[in-house]
Amino acid sequence: MSKKFSVPRGAADILPAEMSLWQDIQDTARQIFRDYNYHEIQTPVFEETELFARSMGKTSDVVQKQMLNLQSQTKSDAADIHGSELSLRPEGTASVVRAYIENGLDRKEAISKFFYMGPMFRGERPQKGRLRQFHQIGAEIIGPEAVHPYLDAEIIAVNIALLHAFGVQDFRLKINTLGSIEDKENLSKTLRKLLSPKMSDLCPDCQQRFKHNVFRILDCKNKACAEIVHGLQINDSYLSDESRAHFATVKEALEGLKIKYDVCHDLVRGLDYYTHTVFEITGSSLGSQDAVSAGGRYNHLVSQLGGPEIPAIGFALGIERTILAMGESRELRVIPPDAFIIALDEKSFKKAFQILSILRDMDIASDMSYRVSSMKSQMRLADKVGARSVIIMGESELEKEFVSLKDMETGHQEEVTIKNNDYAVLVDKLRERQQ
Ligand code: HAM
């Protein structure tokens, strides 16, 4: 027997019944982004590995442990023409910033507002809510004038508007500020001071993190580390007056929008590029992987990637986790055709196939049974696909140039003329019933 293949670990098929939900999510997102005047951008699913290392940080878990690098058969193909290694993208921000700089968008707009959706790839250990191929919907505001703290509130507001529109009810918004680069440096010193007496109780990973990136200890899932972090008395003494004022205005704007938030001083996020506001939205039904979405400011990433000094802020939500958080409110269905044609003999079958093509050309979603069997069994099939109307073609219909049209909702059946191959009446009737 030949080998059977399975979907790769950590990836998933999205079958048609689920696909309609995904489409609803994506359509809804596009509508919300339209309301907020954000424009869609699409970047490749792979980029130079170095782009991610330089943006997310060489010591971030994603870059250290989760990058999926591309390999090729021949040495010359393995590296790109620039001689650089390529990786599947673990997130969208770095690519959007790369595209922003490459296309000189800072010279065109004072503030650019982008959104994107698509697959991201991280070589993580799969579990509920954690995949190797997952999908994000994200947004980024980038521009010379993208400094106003009300933009921080705007990006959080659009994130929350999306969750509301998807029917996610039960979530919590956590916010914090890391301050400027100097403040961040102060925070890192404070954390080292608080943690150094507890070094030996930290997990081996965190002992490394202590040296290279102490912020990451705050994200550690190890129980002992989490307890230590919980006991730290972190306050906002590391912040400059300016950073404190920025954060106060963000909170004021959120209150103005009636968005509830919790300030969590231990929220630092696992990626290097953040400064000032960071946030995370968690769903209560999600278990250990409870972040539905997350984001923050990254005022120096554009310059770190070779562009001018330009501020920015963004977020991304995970579609798979959003679907988990939607719980019972999610609706799975295969979108039914408008019409289903039943042919009762071989001659009618040929005519039915012609009618099918005409209806499809007229944007009436239709299908037919490709097996000339009894009326009863074809009706059963029509019922199964959920068609609103059934068109029946038999000997007498063919001879007298009409079709029998049955409304599956009301049970009403009528004869509709198709004399001289004129399908206008039939099309009109089917159109009236389109949802
Ligand atoms: P992130 O926190 O790494 O941030 O990911 C954002 C969201 O993507 C998470 O909250 C989660 O819903 C989803 N996600 C991440 N990893 C996985 C996974 N392995 N399986 C399933 N879902 C996952 C970023 O990616 C930043 N680029 C967000 C951002 C945009 N910051 C500024 N702009």
Nearest Cα neighbor of 213 from 194, 230, 233, 191 is 191
Q: Is 406 in the pocket of ligand 1 (CB under 6 A)?
A: no
- Residue stretches of the chain with pLDDT short of 70: 72-83, 435
Q: Is 160 in the pocket of ligand 1 (CB under 6 A)?
A: no
pLDDT tens, 60-73? 888 888 999 998 65
In this structure, the strands spanning 402-407 and 389-393 are antiparallel
Q: Is 302 in the pocket of ligand 1 (CB under 6 A)?
A: no
Distances (CA, A) of 41 to 38, 59, 102, 140, 151: 10, 28, 14, 10, 19
Q: What topology does CATH give the domain 16-180+240-329? A: BirA Bifunctional Protein; domain 2 (3.30.930)
**What integer pLDDT is reported at residue 231 of this predicted model?**
87
Q: Are 52 and 63 within 8 A, CB to CB?
A: yes
Rounded to 5 degrees, φ, ψ at 432 are -60, -30
Residue closest via CA to ligand 1's atom 12 equals 318
- Give the residue carrying structure tokens 């920015």: 312
- CATH top-level class of 339-434: alpha beta
**What integer pLDDT is reported at residue 76 of this predicted model?**
56
In this structure, the strands spanning 413-417 and 402-407 are antiparallel
Residue closest via CA to ligand 1's atom 17 equals 130
Residue closest via CA to ligand 1's atom 21 equals 130
Residue closest via CA to ligand 1's atom 13 equals 318
Q: Is 138 in the pocket of ligand 1 (CB under 6 A)?
A: yes
In testing the pocket of ligand 1, which one of 64, 89, 136, 171 has its CB within 8 Å of the most ligand atoms? Answer: 136
Q: Is 293 in the pocket of ligand 1 (CB under 6 A)?
A: yes
- Give the residue carrying structure tokens 């000189």: 104
**What integer pLDDT is reported at residue 435 of this predicted model?**
63
Q: Is 300 in the pocket of ligand 1 (CB under 6 A)?
A: no
Model pTM score: 0.90
Nearest Cα neighbor of 408 from 427, 388, 426 is 388
- For residue 47, the cross-strand partners are 87
Q: Is 48 in the pocket of ligand 1 (CB under 6 A)?
A: no
Q: What is the Å distance from ligand 1's center to 317 Cα? A: 6
In this structure, the strands spanning 339-343 and 389-393 are parallel
Domain locations along the chain = 16-180+240-329, 339-434
**What integer pLDDT is reported at residue 70 of this predicted model?**
93
Q: Is 315 in the pocket of ligand 1 (CB under 6 A)?
A: yes
Residue closest via CA to ligand 1's atom 33 equals 314
